């Protein structure tokens, strides 16, 4: 009799576990969250992502929770999620509150744009997904890769001054100031941000370009394409008067890699560092 009771208890436990797994439906609302959740082995449970989620390749096949960076209650609920991961600034308090009242867990995970911040981010995502052991192993791998990259960074007598231009066509351009995620990745890769007069992002002007006189212009690859390619960037007013223009130093990088600040941060630092110091030769 006791054996049958034990068998019944085990069977019920397994059925409950299977049901829980089957109902584990996750929405990730940033490229970094999607990449990290996937790296933690939760890709099969992701039912929708945001428009910035492009890596790994399998993520591109996931439905989009929105066509832009705004998320409605109805749009999110249409995927029947039981867990939503988001950056604190990417989901409104009103939507968050309503989701929670309807029984949907919403976990907001902050990103700090440092190496330690990336490690913390991976751990936080792991905790949110119940994948603490996988996160610990992923952080260990991340740390090894980071140490190797940092030990082999190319350096020079002076750090190249880098001006990052965010472009969505010629009429929609801004530049990154200090304290931004772009400022952080430039510094980690051995460069210095050409803009120190302000924080965050401000509209691009020819005057500010000439005044900053960068050694290198850095853009997301889609930004370069939106302007018509590298030669079109070099032809923009004022560029020829800068060191970057005179030496034709324009770097285009995958935006998702450049601002990931999670599992692929070592790769981003290595790639940008190589291109920065190749451009000095």
Structure confidence at residue 133 (pLDDT) = 96
83-102 burial string, b = 16+ CB within 10 Å, else e?
bbbbeeebbeeebbeebeee
Does residue 184 share a domain with residue 271? yes
The answer to the question of residue 173 being in a domain is yes
Does residue 168 share a domain with residue 272? yes
For 108, list phi and psi in degrees, rounded to 5. -95, 125
47-65 burial string, b = 16+ CB within 10 Å, else e?
bbbbebbbbeeebeebeeb
Structure confidence at residue 280 (pLDDT) = 60
Does residue 243 share a domain with residue 119? no
Mind listing the pLDDT tens digit of every residue in the chain (281 residues)? 445 455 444 444 444 444 444 448 999 999 999 999 999 999 999 999 999 999 999 999 999 998 888 899 999 999 999 999 999 989 999 999 999 999 999 999 999 999 999 999 999 999 999 999 999 999 999 999 999 999 999 998 899 999 999 998 878 899 988 888 999 999 999 999 998 887 788 889 899 899 999 999 999 999 999 999 999 999 999 999 999 999 999 999 999 999 999 999 999 999 999 999 986 65
Task: Count the neighbouring beta carbons within 10 Å of the beta carbon of residue 251.
Answer: 22
Q: Provide CB contacts within 8 A for 36, sequence distance 6+.
A: 121, 122, 125, 262, 263
Print the domain residue range for 43.
Answer: 2-149
Contact 253, 269 (CB under 8 A): no
Residues paired with 161 in a beta bridge: 192
Q: Which of 106, 126, 149 is the last residue of a domain?
A: 149
Entry pTM: 0.87
Q: Which of 124, 149, 174 is the last residue of a domain?
A: 149
Does residue 51 share a domain with residue 12? yes
The answer to the question of residue 9 being in a domain is yes
Dist CA 108 CA 48 (whole Å)? 16
Residue 107's H or E segment, with its range, is strand 105-108
Tokens coding 11: 């069977």
The answer to the question of residue 155 being in a domain is no
Dist CA 239 CA 161 (whole Å)? 14
Does residue 268 share a domain with residue 196? yes
Residue 10's H or E segment, with its range, is helix 2-23
Dist CA 162 CA 259 (whole Å)? 15
Task: Count the neighbouring beta carbons within 10 Å of the beta carbon of residue 37.
Answer: 25
Does residue 242 share a domain with residue 200? yes
The answer to the question of residue 156 being in a domain is no
Does residue 268 share a domain with residue 200? yes
Total domains, the chain: 2
Does residue 53 share a domain with residue 122? yes
Structure confidence at residue 24 (pLDDT) = 82
Dist CA 203 CA 200 (whole Å)? 11
């Amino acid at each position: 009799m006791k054996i049958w009771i034990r068998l019944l208890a085990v069977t019920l436990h397994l059925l409950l576990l299977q049901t829980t797994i089957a109902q584990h439906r996750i929405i990730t609302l940033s490229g970094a969250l999607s990449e990290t959740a996937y790296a933690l082995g939760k890709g099969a449970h992701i039912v929708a992502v945001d428009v910035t989620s492009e890596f790994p390749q399998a993520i591109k096949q996931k439905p989009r929770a929105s066509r832009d960076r705004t998320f409605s209650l109805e749009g999110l609920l249409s995927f029947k999620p039981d867990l939503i991961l988001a950056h604190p600034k990417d989901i409104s308090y009103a939507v968050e509150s309503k989701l929670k009242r309807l029984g949907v867990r919403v976990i907001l995970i902050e990103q700090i744009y440092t190496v330690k911040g990336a490690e913390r981010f991976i751990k936080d995502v792991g905790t949110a997904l119940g994948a603490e052991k996988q996160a610990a192993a992923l952080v260990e791998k991340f740390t090894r890769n980071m140490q190797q990259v940092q030990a082999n960074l190319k350096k020079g007598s002076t750090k190249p001054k880098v001006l990052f231009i965010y472009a969505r066509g010629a009429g929609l351009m801004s530049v990154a100031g200090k304290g931004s995620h772009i400022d952080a990745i430039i510094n980690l890769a051995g460069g210095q941000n050409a803009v120190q007069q302000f924080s965050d992002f401000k509209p691009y002007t020819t005057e500010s370009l000439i005044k900053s006189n960068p050694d290198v212009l850095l853009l997301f690859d889609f930004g370069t394409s939106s302007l018509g390619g590298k030669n079109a960037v070099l032809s923009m007013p004022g560029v020829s008067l800068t060191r970057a223009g005179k030496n034709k130093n324009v770097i285009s990088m995958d935006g998702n890699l450049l601002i990931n600040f999670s599992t692929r941060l070592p790769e981003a630092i290595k790639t940008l560092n190589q291109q920065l110091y190749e451009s000095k030769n």
